[in-house]
Structure formats: structure tokens, C-alpha cells
Amino acid sequence: MNHLTPDEIAQFDEEGYLVFEGLFDHDLNERIKADVDQLMIDREKGERPMLMAYPELGLLTSEPGVVDRVADLMNGKKFVHHHIHARWQLPGERGVAWHQDYAQLPQTNRSHLMVHVFMYMDGLNGEVGDLLVMPGTHKKIMANDAYRQFQFEDLPGSRTIDSLAPGSIIIVHSALQHARRPKPGGGIYKRYFIDTSYCEEGILWPSYPNIAEINRVALETGCDRNGKYAFLYDTSQFFERRDYMDRFNEKNQGSIVLQL
């Protein structure tokens, strides 16, 4: 079943995240990991590959088990795909300090929903990069780096996720504060990590560079699954942030409301 229960939707609204253990079957999981392995080889050669061009990673952006659950959180409203990242991490890699990923310039409201989907192809076992989350922080308006001074520390009310089955995903409200705690590792374990992101339609969202080209490749390579998920790759829902930053920095003085 690819849909959420009312209790799960209520939990997401309250806490800002949902965990789904072992969502992907073994065969799909292995194909995705093979794509990530090839991606890392290509990067090692100095290439800057587009993830949409890798068959399993591209299709992952429209994976029904993910997208249909996101659709339930959007409550019947249209939404688009924002980005996909992928890599694996090894023992001893540096962590990522507390932050949130809601894409808005500047951070002023949460009128439209944005979610990230964290995917752990080999799960988590406490050896490489625990995930830390701070439930409820998606309800607060704050800068992306508002908690960064706390690095990877446990905070009052925070939770540590360090045990997940292979093929697990976590859907998080993009404004949820989270971190990756570095770990020394205990063997040859790799932390395969992929994140995708989706934005509710109705406003323009800051885009990643080359969004038009990324969406063109997605449609040409069949990521829309015979048109069923073509709505995900709508470039018209984004703006190029670099086109606005100089003007914003010039006008960013005092109370912005007085300039409306």
C-alpha cells in the first residue's frame, strides 16, 4: 500500500517526519546501489554527471512508493520534483551540522509544503552517520543554519535514528532541523544515501541550476512513467535565485514589510 493513514498524516503534521522501514525490495535496492556506485566512479574521474541520466536514480524521482505517499501529505494539491542527490559515505567522514532545507528567500513563512525524502539503501547500523532530528521544528520560522552552532550534539527533545533496515526511507518536512552525526565506523559498511525533494505548487520555488535541462532529460528518459508522473517535471514552478539576490541584498534593510 503506497498511501498514508490519517494517523500517519497527523504524526507528520505534529512531528515533521515519518519512517518507513524496508520500503524497497531487494532487487530494486541493489539496482539503485549499482547506479550510486557508478555515480561515485564517474565523480572520481572528475565528471559532473546529471543524476537523471542514471536509469535507476532517474526513475527513483517518480518511484510510486515514494511519490504516492508524498501526494497524501500534499492533501490533493499538485506538486513538483525539486532535486535528487546521491552518494555513499564511508567510516570517519565528517558530519553535517544541524540545519533545515526549506527553500525560501528569505525565510518568512511556511505557506506551502516542501518535503525531503531520505533514502538509506543499506539502512543504518550506528557505524556511519546517525541521523538526528528535532521533532516539531518545522513549525518554526528560522534560518537554515539557526542551530548550526550545536554541530552534531544531542539537544533537548532531539531524536537519534541509527538503526534502519535496508531500503528504508524517511519523509521529512524540509523545514525540520536535522543533522548527520559522524561515526568512526566498525568495518566495511558504506552509508548509501539518496535524497529527493518535492514542492507544493502555488508559488515559485528557488531552483537548482539547470532545472530546465534536468526536467527535459527526466521526460526524455521516461522518468514520468508513461505520463503518469509528468507533472513532477514542470520547470515553470521555479525561479533562478541568482537573478534576484543582488537586488534583494540592496533592499534588505529594516522591516521588509514596508517595501511591499
pLDDT category of residue 128 using cuts at 50, 70 and 90: confident
Strands in 100-221 per DSSP E: 114-120, 130-133, 159-161, 168-173, 178-181, 191-200, 205-206
Name residues whose C-beta falls within 8 Å of residue 4's C-beta, 6 or more positions apart in sequence: 12, 18, 69, 72, 73
Distance CA 19, CA 22 (A): 10
Residue with cell 535514528: 161
How does pLDDT run across 19-50, given as a tens digit for each residue?
999 999 999 999 999 999 999 999 999 998 99
Name residues whose C-beta falls within 8 Å of residue 57's C-beta, 6 or more positions apart in sequence: 32, 35, 36, 39, 51, 84, 86, 194
**What pLDDT, on a 0 to 100 scale, did the predictor assign at position 159?**
98
At 241 the three-state DSSP class reads helix
For residue 71, pLDDT over 90 is answered with yes
For the entire predicted model, the pTM comes to: 0.95
For residue 101, pLDDT over 70 is answered with yes
For residue 168, pLDDT over 70 is answered with yes
What domains, with CATH codes, occur in the chain?
6-259 (2.60.120.620)
Name residues whose C-beta falls within 8 Å of residue 159's C-beta, 6 or more positions apart in sequence: 132, 133, 134, 135
